Chain A
Amino acid sequence: MAGLRERLLELKGRTGAGGVSHGTDALSGRLSRLQPDGRGRARPRPADESKLARCLGGKLIDKGVILLERRYSLDSVHGKVPLRLLEQGLDGLPDVEGLELERLLFLDTETTGLSGGSGTLVFLLGLARVQGRMMVVRQYLLTRCAGEQRMLEVAGGWVGQGDTLVSYNGKSFDLPMLATRCRLSGTPNPFSALPHLDLLYGVRRAFSKRWRECSLQTAEQRLLEFFRRDDLPGSAAPECWRAWLTRADASCLPGICRHNYWDIVSLAALLPRLRQCHQQPGRHGADVLAIARVHLKRGGLQQALSLLQENRDRLDQSGLLQLARLFRRNRRWQEALEIWKGLAESGNEDAREQLAKYYEHIARDYQQAFACASELPTNAEHLYRCRRLIRKLAH
């Protein structure tokens, strides 16, 4: 059975028969009949990359790659955050051990889409690091698809082997994206083995209960008190770049570069701010209990305890129970009892249970223990406790 196309060609070759009433031979004719959709042809205009580089205040370092570099002193302030806070050290943040300021590499990208997959590419790669008393920001802008390999090579040249990456949601988005791009262009991935500090997790931990969402912009506004003016939203980035690529229309490229620049600077300023949240959660409205738990996980029982105590008036019931638990572990019974009694009065069952246990096993006041236990909801465990107490009372 001959294929359709061979058949058509054969029929068209026959003279006389096969009077085609309308429509063209071309594939596009057939396609437009099947999918009638008015579409025009994009007319490519020659793109002047050096001119674009000059417009953006950068340098065309190779065919298809523009580098924008900016520096600012650590004495400057971003929002309400003086950047010299970075110099005060980074201890106090979880997952941060022995980090040197000059080994931090801040990273943020702009891509042609959010879906991941091999069809999305990184067209703007922003990196920043501290050198001396300056913060140096380098943005690598792709001006043509073919420049990708070179861009990744050059950017990779600025990455040190002992660097630690700092990003916002980079673990699930930016880094896998960059890994894909390196694999596709055949360049080694300079970021693959580096330790990675993704600030999204810290922000979420501290603020997800109080903020509607934990995007970088929200953190920027609430924690850094930095408010952008005339910012191009990140969602406009793909279309912006496509306009340049297909029509040599660079009108919104400066906006995107500036958006990315702010993302990186905010990222850098967020680091010391987040550290402060972990040391003094009360100052910025962070979730005290969540931060205390971080300390507990790392074995910092005393730190957790002092943190909870200092911010006691901001604790909710679960926070208070946690504090009571820590008091109990330190055998500070009076302080624990004070919390439990207070909570039990407002009907908190966990507190009542703790009281029952305390009276039974520590104070050996079975009468009191039974009084507490009998107020607990009836389930197998509580019934068992009550029966046991009755037996003990009987002796």
Chain B
Amino acid sequence: MHAQTEALESVAASPDANHLAWQLQQKYASRITGVLHLPARKGRFKPLPDALDVSLREALVARGIKSLYLHQHQAWQVVQDGKNLVVVTPTASGKTLCYNLPVLHGALKERAKALYLFPTKALSQDQVAEIAELNQAGELGVRAYTFDGDTPGDARRAVRTRGDIVVSNPDMLHQGILPHHTKWAQFFEGLRFVVIDEMHSYRGVFGSHMANVLRRLRRICRFYGADPLFILCSATIANPEQLAQRLIGDDVTAITESGAPQGERRLLLWNPPVINPDLGIRASARSQTTRIARMATQMGLKNIIFAHSRLMVEVLTKYLKDVFDKDPRHPPRIAAYRGGYLPTARRATERRLRQGGVDSVVSTSALELGVDIGALDVCILNGYPGTVAGTWQRLGRAGRRNRPALGVLVASSDPLDQYIVRNPDFFLDASPEHAQISPDQLLILLDHVRCAAFELPFNRGEVFGGEALEELLQWLQDEGVLHREGERWHWVTDSYPANAVSLRSVAEGNFVVIDITNGGQQVIAEVDYSAAPMTLYPGAIYMIQSSPYQVERLDWEGRKAFVRQTRADYYTDAIDYTRLKILDSTGRDLAPMGLVAHGEVHLVRRVAGYKKIRYYSHENVGFGKINLPDQEMHTTAVWWQLAEDALDTAFAGRQEALDGFLGAAYAMHHVAALRMMAEPRDLGRAVGDGEAGWFATVGPNGRGALRNLEGDELSVDGQQRFRPTLFLYDNYPGGVGLSVPLFDQRATVVEQTIQLIDQCDCRWGCPACVGPILASDEQRGCAPKTAAIRVVEMLRGRA
């Protein structure tokens, strides 16, 4: 922890982020569509509370903390009043003291126990180190231990019986602590605080699981007579109070104003220049990002670049390393960071960042979380992260130590990006998204009722979640795992349910990447199940720190990919097809020209082949086939259909109508995501016939094409019936509750889609509205853009 003083650090003589901002604004004024300037902010202080334990006060003073920021003082007050709390302040605002203060005070005064939950192990270790420092400074004698997969067996008992503060993560709580709660009896009996940091990361599927793990935790606490207070910390989202309340199932007070000082910040919104006006093609975001990063690095400014995908991280790192890391005798100045690298490698990168040995780090959102990586001056976002909240969180990585900081958001040709960068006020004024969770998602809830039943028998009349508990218990009885005796359901089988439930997704097992280059077998990375078909197919180029490896063999059942180092000068990009079949519609609305409905669908995703793309020139230098099992799932969706005769009247031929549907789907997907305040990847889109007879994709010639289940092309006009259906589906098995609100807002979504396409400056269509088009499309007669608008207007129907 650094000393909290009111004086800002003096401006260094060497160039700082303001210089870079000035240079960029001079040289590239035409590319900058918006500027936000946040002046430096002074801190607001309050004295340390009187009631604070004396030795704790001394420890704080010894560490340079003589007063509290306003929000830290407020947090103390709320906790003293016995209320649950969520603190929502930016990075580096001293959030940890908001919970460490009351927890340490409680531990000293009445041996109160606390459980800290962090999403990752790295954060846990940081936290324990901080408490250890306070302990030493004041000889407090408070015992804080991490308890996770790395804790050795003989140390575990000590943690259970003697720990005052146990630092763990949701997965360990779920699999290692709750199912063995009797061993923790002493701990639970004295549990007074539960601290949950990085609350905003508990959203979507992960958040829904977390809410259920917390339900189980509270149930266990009740068994031991404890009723702990919850303290949560979050980055800025639109609904922190609501998310916190839904996670813990109880009322929460929110503190949203930060009293911490902050250095001056600038944000530039950057649109790459147009290089082909007719087709509306712009220079790639990648080219701009690389240029800005080079300037920053050459000026000696430490910078971080966020990219969307692991592939893009590798590509960007390679380009930057080609410039800055040419001499292998010098330590590398550029580092890549992403999930899939082994934990030891990531820890090493974090250390080098903290010590200042890395000038530029390229990362996915994996580095978004609060791991301390020292002071950075510049943050470049290669493409819009998808949410306003996510954007501000990433930008927050630059400028920790009261020095001026610069953020640049470089737009890609994605419709969302273009919308954001062309409507700077929308973004700059926009409130961050709502973080949504569905704790009563049926499959998730069932899994956790199963785990809870293992932990303690269920009694009639108990409540767990929002669905009818008894029916769920009956289901489990039929499954054979529970036995009902009178008013109680007992666990009677020999399985251990927590092992089969992964908190992050469909638990299908991660893949390991094994390097066989030198005749040995070394595990060098891990890839999760849903990403495997797209990145580990035989022939794929898989990159680590921009060193390419080629996948020689994939053992699907064994979850192993065998790779060998290669010197290929291209990278690979997979192509996937999705087909849907409607199972059941739970609601529908008949429009004059068709219908819109929502309900359950069955989805099959197949990765069919891949392209080989050469570096620098981006030519397509080859194509390969992929032969992997399909990924199937049941989920919820909303779909639109138009009557065949209506289409006949409106379009000259089926091909045009099909192109229109594809363009409309592209645009509506992005509008829907924006509207639902979800990330585009939470929703999937597809155009098919609803019976899984055919599905449509854009073929290599730029025109819509139909394929059947096997992937063979079908003739458009050769089909008897022609009822193209536009699907927007929840991209998670069982759905996550996006379909129903989307159905409710269908009129607005359709209307805004028309606006999006209409307002686009391009002539025939572009990636910012209906999707990329080819030069030949000008001669088509009916441009993709026109066709798409016509389809969407028909969907609007009456109005």
What is the CA–CA distance of A1 and B243 in the complex, to the nearest angstrom?
13
A117 and B478 in contact (CB under 8 A), knowing A11-B586, A245-B492, A246-B483? Answer: no
Cα(A179)–Cα(B160), bound, Å:
15
Among listed B107-115, B463-471, B545-553, B784-792, interface-contacting one? B463-471
Residues A118 and B181 in contact in the complex (CB < 8 Å), given A4-B740, A31-B446, A34-B734: yes
Report B-chain residues with C-beta under 8 Å of the C-beta of A194. Answer: none
Among A16-24, A154-162, A347-355, A367-375, the stretch that binds chain B is A16-24
A40, CB-defined interface residue at 8 Å: yes
> Is A391 at the interface (CB under 8 A from chain B)?
no
Q: Are A145 and B488 within 8 A (Cβ)? A: yes
In the complex, A29→B268 CA distance in Å?
Answer: 53
In the complex, the answer to whether B483 meets A39 with C-beta atoms within 8 Å is no
Q: Is the CB of A34 within 8 A of B634?
A: yes
**B443 at the A/B interface (Cβ < 8 Å)?**
yes
Q: Is the CB of A17 within 8 A of B491?
A: no
Q: Which residue of A8, A39, A121 is within 8 Å of B478 (Cβ)?
A: A39
> Which DSSP category, helix, strand, loop or mixed, fits chain A's interface?
loop
Count residues of chain B with CB under 8 A from any CB of chain A.
56
Whether A145 and B483, one on each chain, are in contact in the complex, defined by CB atoms closer than 8 angstroms, is yes
A22 to B600, CA, bound (A): 11
Q: Is A144 a contact partner of B478 (Cβ separation < 8 A)?
A: no
CB of A254 closer than 8 Å to a CB of B? no
CA distance A176 to B589 in the complex (A): 60
Residue A41 interfacial (CB < 8 Å): yes
- Is the Cβ of A27 less than 8 Å from the Cβ of B468? yes
Instruction: Judge if A98 is at the interface, Cβ distance under 8 Å.
Output: no
Complex contact B585–A19 (CB within 8 A): yes
In the complex, what residues of A have CB within 8 A of residue B456's CB? 118, 184
Cβ–Cβ contact B443 & A34, under 8 A: yes
Q: Which bracket fits the contact residues of A?
A: 35 or more
For the complex, is B588 an interface residue (Cβ under 8 Å from A)?
Answer: yes
Q: Indicate if B485 sits at the interface (CB-CB under 8 A).
A: yes
B453: nearest chain-A partner, CB-CB = A119
**B179 contacts A by Cβ under 8 Å:** yes
Q: Are A119 and B475 in contact (CB under 8 A)?
A: no
The reply to whether B455 and A115 contact each other, CB–CB distance below 8 Å, is: no
**How long is the Cα–Cα vector from A115 to B500 in the complex, in angstroms?**
13
- Cα distance A34–B737 when bound, in Å? 15
Given known pairs A27-B475, A117-B496, A184-B456, the reply for A21 and B585 (CB within 8 Å) is yes
How far is B479's CA from A27's CA once the two chains are assembled, in angstroms? 15
Known: A17-B588, A33-B600, A113-B493. A5 touches B475 (CB 8 A): no
The yes or no answer to A114 lying at the interface (CB within 8 A) is yes
Judged by a CB distance under 8 angstroms, whether B185 is at the interface is yes
Q: How far, in whole Å, are A118 and B219 apart by their CA atoms in the complex? A: 14
Quick check: A119 and B634 within 8 Å, CB to CB? no
Cβ-based interface call for B645 (8 A): no
B interface majority secondary structure: mixed
**Which of these binds chain A: B413-421, B434-442, B658-666?**
B434-442
- Whether A118 pairs with B454 at a CB distance below 8 angstroms is yes
Which B residues touch A28, using CB under 8 A? 471, 474-475
What CA separation (Å) do A50 and B330 show in the bound complex?
A: 83
Residue ID in chain A nearest B676 by CB atoms: A1
A295-310 vs B, Cβ < 8 Å mask (1 yes, 0 no) = 0000000000000000
Query: Contact string, A41-55, partner B, CB cutoff 8 A, digits 1/0?
Result: 110000000000000
A112 touches B493 (CB 8 A): yes
Task: State the CA gap A113–B740 with chains docked (Å).
Answer: 42
Inter-subunit contact B737/A146 (CB<8 Å): no
CB-CB < 8 A to A35: which residues of B? 443
What is the minimal beta-carbon distance from B274 to any residue of chain A, in angstroms? 39
For the complex, give the distance between the alpha carbons of A2 and B215 in Å.
20
Q: List 29 A-B contacts (CB under 8 A).
A: A1-B436, A1-B741, A3-B737, A4-B440, A7-B740, A8-B586, A17-B589, A19-B588, A20-B586, A21-B585, A27-B442, A27-B468, A31-B475, A33-B600, A39-B480, A42-B477, A112-B492, A118-B179, A118-B180, A118-B181, A145-B485, A145-B488, A146-B485, A146-B486, A180-B183, A184-B182, A238-B494, A242-B493, A246-B492
Extra contacts besides A27-B475, A28-B474 (20): CB < 8 Å: A3-B438, A5-B440, A5-B467, A17-B589, A28-B475, A31-B446, A34-B733, A112-B492, A116-B180, A118-B180, A119-B179, A119-B455, A121-B492, A144-B485, A145-B488, A146-B485, A241-B492, A242-B480, A245-B483, A246-B483
Residues of A whose CB lies within 8 Å of any CB of B are 1-5, 7-8, 11, 17-23, 26-28, 30-31, 33-35, 39-42, 112-121, 144-146, 176, 179-180, 183-184, 238, 241-242, 245-246
Q: Which 9 A-B pairs have the closest CB atoms?
A: A113-B494, A119-B454, A119-B491, A115-B496, A117-B179, A180-B182, A145-B490, A27-B471, A238-B494
